Amino acid sequence: MASPHIENLLIIQDRDQVVRGLKDQLQAIPLVIQKHEAEIQAETDALEESKSKLQTLEVQRKNLDIQVGSAEEQINKYKNQQLQVKKNEEFQALTHEIEVLKKKISDMEEEEIGLLLDIDEEMVVFKKREGVFDQDVAKIRESISTLEAKNAETEKQLVEAEANFEASKGQVKDTIFNRYYRLTEGIKLPVVAPLELQTCQGCHLRVSNDTLEQARKGEELTTCDNCGRIVYLAS
């Protein structure tokens, strides 16, 4: 027969387990929420990055346009000057300047083609990100609010579970409860474990014959020789 305290200790342990489980959940939920918030931030950043890349490319393209425009203007000026110069060397010098500018324009136009390709490519990335952004973020926000509701519900459950645990404490003497409590500080639940085939179901090691005998008598609380848990013989 098990010690008369065992039954009450098992109830205490059950309720303690519920409290601990709820506390674990309350620690875990905010971390998952944080992770989801980081996901939203990452999607927002990626979209922003793509947008600002596009803007930078557009600015580069416009600058090139301006430079091509002023080079063309300069060529026209040189051509007008050519109409006015008298000496052949001066005319040749201007022709040379015009050739240099024409080469420059052709280089810039080539560069612009490259930029246009980059813009097209980045536009595809941007549109793709923009296309899924709202839906993705809405989905994540939905998960967050589900988790927040679960958190609130768990907090309520914890209040109730703690009250149940407190109530069950009163069912045993303080000395017995303190013995239970000290065990929980050192080892994982269960700290009150049955003996099966002379084996402690807490540490799964075999107990001595004396311990088994003491548990069988059930006159006092028996502890496992190996792990120190309170052990009992299940009837």
Distance of alpha carbon 171 from alpha carbon 159, whole angstroms: 20
Nearest residue (CB) to Zn ion, 144 versus 227 = 227
Q: How far is the CB of 174 from Zn ion (least distance, A)?
A: 24
**Burial (CB count within 10 angstroms: exposed 0-12, middle 13-18, buried 19+), residue 185:** exposed
When asked if residue 227 is in the footprint of Zn ion (CB under 5 A), the reply is yes
Distance of alpha carbon 181 from alpha carbon 12, whole angstroms: 10
The amino acid occupying position 54 is L
Nearest residue (CB) to Zn ion, 194 versus 202 = 202
Contact region for Zn ion (CB under 5 A) — 45-53, 133-141, 184-192, 216-224? 216-224
Q: How far is the CB of 207 from Zn ion (least distance, A)?
A: 7
C-beta neighbour count of 40 within 10 angstroms? 15
Contact region for Zn ion (CB under 5 A) — 33-41, 71-79, 112-120, 222-230? 222-230
Binds Zn ion by CB under 5 A, chosen from 91, 203, 206, 216: 203
Q: How far is CA 109 from the centre of its chain?
A: 46
Contact region for Zn ion (CB under 5 A) — 33-41, 75-83, 162-170, 221-229? 221-229
Report how far apart the first and last C-alpha atoms of the chain are (Å, whole number). 6
Binding site for Zn ion (CB under 5 A): 200, 202-203, 224, 226-227, 229
